[in-house]
Amino acid sequence: MKTLIAVLGLATAALAASANAQAVNRITNPPPAIILSGAIVPPGAEIFHLSGQLASPIDPSKPVTGPESFGDTKTQTISIFNKIKAILEKQGYKMSDVFKLTVFVAAAPNMGGKMDFTGFNDGYKQFFGTAENPNLVARSTVQVAGLAGPNFLIEIEATAAKVK
């Protein structure tokens, strides 16, 4: 009987702790902003830092012949977010658990030495602030001189957290 009472007590405590678990506090910006001012991760949350991800070739069955093998900034952004989504899911996370992105964007060939910020945002908006994932993220976006290879226009690091 003592064992049963102890087990019930532990189960009740676990349920109470779970019910009191705080979610990531997402500090919003006024509309039409599509990013957060910041995010506060509560103590005890598990944090997952993803390395920077690059785009996959549009058609992996074909040889890489140049930038056209990876597409424009929007196409590469979507490819990267799909990679991030798969990595997260493999570890039991969702895109809605992402609270911070660091984005490195190289100059696009057709942008006169500037990054294609609009192309990146168009891809970003397919994964954040949607019906499937209404969450936004804190984000830094930086234009860089180049990335790991001449075909890449964008690299994205993500940080996710979930409260246990």
Averaged pLDDT of the chain: 90
Banded model confidence at residue 68, pLDDT cuts 50, 70, 90:
very high
Q: Is residue 8 part of a domain?
A: no
Alpha-carbon distance 77 to 55, whole Å? 7
Range of the domain at 146: 24-162
Residue 6 belongs to a domain = no
Residue 159 near residue 50 (C-beta atoms within 8 A): yes
Token readout for 96 is 């809605």
In a domain, 103, yes or no: yes
> What's residue 136's pLDDT?
98
Residues contacting 96, CB < 8 A, separation 6+: 133, 134, 135
Split into its structural domains, the chain has a count of 1
Q: What is the pTM of this model?
A: 0.86
Q: Indicate which CATH number applies to the domain containing 42.
A: 3.30.1330.40
pLDDT digits (tens, 9 = 90+) for 69-118: 999 999 999 999 999 999 999 999 999 999 999 999 999 988 999 999 99
